[in-house]
Amino acid sequence: MSVSHLKKDQILGISLAVLATMIWAGNFVISKGVSQLIGPISLAFFRWTLASLIIIPIAWPSYKKEKQYIKENIRYLFWVALSGIALFNTCIYVSGHFTTAINMALIGTTSSPIFATVFAIIFLKEKVNATRLVGLIMCIIGILILLSKGSFEKLWSLHFGVGDLWILAAGFCFAIYSVLVKKKPLSISSLHFLMLIFSMGAMMLFPFFLIENWYFPRPQFTPALIGSILYLGFGTSVIAFLCWNIALQKLGTSRTVLFGNLTPIFSTLEAVLILGEKFTSIHVISGLMVIGGLVIANLSSFNPIKKNSYPEISK
């Protein structure tokens, strides 16, 4: 593979990772807005059921070509679906009922890249050089500035409650998912991969969805809730996951997960545009820190070093 081809792959991976985080940013805005209309497990179940219904008709015609490979990797697919589909967003939605937004964003956005980087080093033998480590630290500092509004007092007063542990679990689950996706068999296409983990995740959630609706109030299907489920099922699930999975294959786990730090930045911009919230100098400073960290962390990606240091490209 030529150097120019490798650079194109890196640029494509970065572009897709940024697009995924832009779409995912709406997940926090929507989940907070509909928390009084639907339970967390029900929201997750409807999201992944809709995503499955969207992607199955597209992927099914060519499913038989990879059926044997899928059977051989069913255990692997189970763990991917459990960590990235059934658990990750469900933990976020549950956390929103117990903890503050600042705790959710702080713990979720800073823990996942750290977990994933450690997992990538241990299980994937990825090398994290000094440049990438500096970029990671800059991203974390930028997020801390944003969430604390530049106040050390707010950071020192942070305490871990039940909801904080749920969001920490979400970051842990997504880190596991990100590492597992890097090991996706090349014999399984990205389309069939998503079809399987979406549908498997929805099936895993189904019994808990029934339990939640038996003991707690059922969802109130207002136009706002229906529109939110459509956005979650199509945008944050099908489109964003396709973009993220391809980015993981092209950039590697430890580099790609850094882009997750852009999510609160985009969430802030969306809040300004959609909710009319005030945009301050703190947002500018933190945004520059995160973007600068991402640039520094990815500088080594564009150097024509050893060919085998780049991740394999998926189908």
Residues 153-208 pLDDT 10s: 666 665 556 777 788 888 888 888 878 887 888 888 888 998 999 999 999 999 99
pLDDT digits (tens, 9 = 90+) for 49-93: 999 999 999 889 888 888 888 999 999 999 999 999 999 989 988
So what's the pLDDT on residue 41?
A: 94
> Is-above-0.85 flag for pTM?
no
- Give the residue, 23 or 301, on which the prediction is more confident: 23
Task: Give Cβ neighbours of residue 155 (< 8 Å, ≥ 6 apart).
Answer: 144, 148
